[in-house]
Structure 1
C-alpha cells in the first residue's frame, strides 16, 4: 500500500484564528451548531447506510455482551456506570465513521473496508489516545464501585433491590449527586481531549500530543457551544440505549458522522503544514 496526499479547500474562517500549531487553528463558534452538524451527519448516514448500520450493530452487540457479562459475574449494579462509561470510549469506536465522512467529503468511494483505513492511519497515535480513554474508563468503573461500597456499607445491592436502592433509598439523592459530579468531571475532561483530537489524527499526520493540545484549545475557546454539543450526544446516546440498546444501531453512526462535521466546523486547516494523508486500499 502507498500513501498519497490530498488537499481540499477549507471553509472560510468564522472568526480570527490565532495560536496555530502546524498551521492548524481553532475557529470561534458563537452560536450552537448542533443542528447543522446532525443534519450533515444524517446526510452521510443516508449515503452510506450499510457502513453506519454495521458500526451501530457492533455497538449494540458489544453492549449486550457487556451487560450479559456483568450479570453473569454478579455485578448488575455496574450496568448504569458502564452505560455512562460508554461515552468515554465512543470517540475511538467512531474512527471508521470519521474516515467514511472524510472520504465522502473528498468525493471518494466509501465502503466498509475503506472505513477501516481510519484505524490504519496513524495507528500508533490513535492507539495512544485509545489507551488514555481506556484509563479514564477504568478509573470511572473503579470510582463507581467505590461509591457503591461507601454508600451501602461495604456491600453492593442485589438485583432484586438495585433500582430501589439506587434511586429511592434514603441515601439515593446524595449517591446520585456525588456520582454525577465525579462522572461529569471525568466526562468533561475526556470530551475536551477527544472532541477534535481523534478526527484530527484520522485526517492529518500529527502526533497525539499535538492533537490533544489543539482539542483542549478548541474546547476552551468554544466551551459553551461544545458543552451543549456534549449534552446532545449524551441525550441521544441515552435514548439509543432505551429498549435493549437497539437505538444505538442508528444513533451511534449518526453521532459519529456528525462529530466529524463538528471537527471540520471547529478546526481550520487551510494553512496547515501537515498534509492530509490517504492510504490507498485495493
Structure 2
C-alpha cells in the first residue's frame, strides 16, 4: 500500500506557481528599466507616444469645439482603462530589445497578428470598459449637475458647490472601482498575450493571481503608473510623449518579473 502511494505521488504532476512574489525595489526597477528601453529605442518610442498625444489633442479639441468640455475629464480617465491595449507596440519594442532583435516598424505595428483572434477579443473587452465608463460618466454628470454647465468657466464655478462636490465624489467612487477592476485584470494580460499567444481570460487570470500574491507591490505599481501619467498630464499633453513610452516599457518588465516563464 505504501509502495503504491509513493508511486502514485511520484507520477502525479507537480503544480508550479504561475506568478512570482516581487519586492518594492523590483517595482521601482521596472520604471528604471522602462526609461532605459525608451532611451534605447528613443526614435520609435517617442514617435509612438507622440502619435497618441496627437490623437488626444484632436479629441479634446473636438469636444471643446462641440461644447462638450465636461466629457474631457472622463475621456482622460477612460484612456487609462484602454492604455494597456494601446501600449502593445511598446511591449513589442521591449521584447525585441530583450532578444536583441532588430527594431523595425512593420513587425512592431503588426505584433498582434500572430494572436489576432484573441487580440481582437481583448480589443472588444477594452472598448466595453470604455463604453461603460463613458455612459456612466454622462449619467453621473446629468444627475449630480442638473444645471449642466456648458463650458469650462461654468464648470469650474459649480465645482465648489454641493452639486459639484457630489459630482467629484461620485465620479471618484465609480471611476475608482472600475479602474481597480481594470487594473487587477490587466496587469500582465496584454504582455502575456503577446509573449505566450494566450487568450485574454488566461492573461486576466495571471493578472489577478499576480495582484493577489503581491498586494503591496501592486498598489505601489498602480500608484507609479498613475503618477507617471499624471506628471505627463501636468506638463501638458505633450509630457505624455515621454510618460507613455516609459510606462509601457516598464509594464513589459513588470510582466517579466511577475510571471514565471513557460517551460520550453
The answer, yes or no, to whether TM exceeds 0.5 is: yes
Runs of 4+ in 1 over 3 A off after TM superposition: none
The match for 1:212 is 204
Q: Gaps (5+ residues) in structure 2?
A: 1-13
1:157 aligns with 2:149: yes
Structure with bigger gyration radius: 2
1:173 is displaced (CA, Å) by 2.5
1:243 is displaced (CA, Å) by 4.2
Question: 1:41-78: per-residue Cα shift (whole Å, max 9, x none)?
Answer: 11111110011011111111111111022123221101
1:254 aligns with 2:221: no
Which residue of 22, 34, 37 maps to 1:29? 22
Question: 1:121-142: per-residue Cα shift (whole Å, max 9, x none)?
Answer: 3111112112111111111111
Q: Gaps (5+ residues) in structure 1?
A: 1-17, 274-282
Which residue of 55, 62, 65 maps to 2:48? 55
The match for 2:113 is 120
1:39 aligns with 2:49: no
Range that drifts further, 60-69 or 256-265: 60-69
Q: Following the alignment from structure 1 to structure 2, what is the Cα–Cα distance between the partners of residues 19 and 210?
A: 17
Question: 1:14-66: per-residue Cα shift (whole Å, max 9, x none)?
Answer: xxxx965xxx7100124353320011111111110011011111111111111
What TM-score does the superposition give when structure 1 sets the normalisation length? 0.84
The match for 2:124 is 131
Q: Alignment RMSD, CA only?
A: 1.7
Q: Following the alignment from structure 2 to structure 1, what is the Cα–Cα distance between the partners of residues 15 and 230?
A: 36
Any conservation in 2 of the 1:60–1:248 contact (CA below 8 Å)?
Answer: yes
Query: Normalized per residue, which structure has more strand?
Result: 1
The match for 1:102 is 95
What TM-score does the superposition give when structure 2 sets the normalisation length? 0.89
Query: Normalized per residue, which structure has more helix?
Result: 2
- CA 1:132–1:26 in 2, change beyond 3 Å: closer, same or farther? same
The match for 1:4 is none
The match for 1:169 is 161
Aligned length: 250
Which residue of 160, 177, 189 maps to 2:181? 189
Q: Following the alignment from structure 2 to structure 1, what is the Cα–Cα distance between the partners of residues 208 and 259?
A: 12
Any conservation in 2 of the 1:100–1:114 contact (CA below 8 Å)?
Answer: no
